[in-house]
Each structure stands twice: as C-alpha cells, then as structure tokens.
Amino acid sequence: MTDQRTITIRPGGPDDAATVLRLLDGATAWLAERGRTGQWGTEPASADPRRIAQADEWATGGGLYLAVLGDAAVGALVVGAATEYVPPATEPELYVNLLVTDRAYAGNGIGARLLAYAEELARDRGLGLLRVDCYGGDDRALVRFYEGCGFTATDPFTVRRPGRDPWPGQVLARRLH
C-alpha cells in the first residue's frame, strides 16, 4: 500500500483534459473486464465526442484537482454545482461531479484522499454539505465505497437516455458540521 503522504493534490488546468480521459478510459476498461458495463459502458471516453467535450469543460472550469504520485496523475476529482438530473440540495453545497482513480493503484486510498480534499474545499468555502452521485446498479459497490467514506445514501434516481438503457443512480450526502 502507498504511503498517503506521497500522494499530493494539485489543481488541474486546460492541459489536463487528456489525463482525465486516460483515467476514465482505464476505469471503463477495468469495469468492462469484470462485466460491469452498466456504469460507463465499454467504449473509451477518449473516443466519445461528448466525453471529450466534458473533459475539456472540467479541465477549464476551475473545479478539477489531480492526485499525483511521483510524476504520475493517479486520480481526478471535479467539484462544482450539482448535475441537472439529481434532486437539488436544500442548502448551499459543494458537489463532486467526478471521482476517478487509476486502477493500477487500486487499494491505495486515492479516492478517499480526493474525497477528503473535497471536504476541505467545502469547509474552506463555509459549506456544510458535500454531495456526490454514482452508479447505483449492479452490486452497488460504489454506493458502499462512498458510505465507507462517511456519506449517507439519500435520493435514488434514474437517468433516461434516448436509445439506451436507463441509468440507475444514487445521490449520497456528507454533513460537514
């Protein structure tokens, strides 16, 4: 296991869109190898114009942070406003729009460290609520991961996509008081 102190977190920028896509591609391939295609499908994000545009938006939007181990980016966090498909918060919040880690470093606490950083950002902004949504289908492994990081499942939701299967999601919240 990696010593947590060796993981640094730095703000992302316009040059980091390719890094986000690399991390998404790796996670998508890892999930697909395990037959868990409901979350992100089977095609690489780097081949999807919508995901490329999304990565560019994240990289230029001011809410991207990268976990770095040595010279390698091993995780990405994007925070900002909640997505339109989740129920709105009843108080000011910081929303985790993306959390993805390099599967070659699985088990090293990178995702938990990025979530702790999101909590720090929220507290620094005077916010008492941190929320995230995740894929809520299959074995609900992501829901359990977030619960293990101190989040509580709140609102389930379904994203209906034309010509594709519905996407089951779960909103989770963490109080910061």
Structural domains counted in the chain: 1
177 has pLDDT over 70: yes
- Domain CATH for 81: 3.40.630.30
158 has pLDDT over 80: yes
DSSP code per residue over 135-173: E-STT-HHHHHHHHTT-EEEEEEEE--TTS--EEEEEEE
The residues near 4 (Cβ < 8 Å, ≥ 6 apart) are 109, 113
50 has pLDDT over 50: yes
pLDDT value at position 2? 47
Does the pTM exceed 0.75?
Answer: yes
**Angle separating helix axes 49-60 and 17-33, nearest 10 degrees:** 130
pLDDT single digits (tens) 123-142 = 999 999 999 999 998 778 89
In the predicted model, what is the mean pLDDT of residues 75-83?
A: 96
pLDDT single digits (tens) 80-116 = 999 999 999 999 999 999 999 999 999 899 999 999 9
How far is it, in rounded angstroms, from Cα 62 to Cα 40?
24
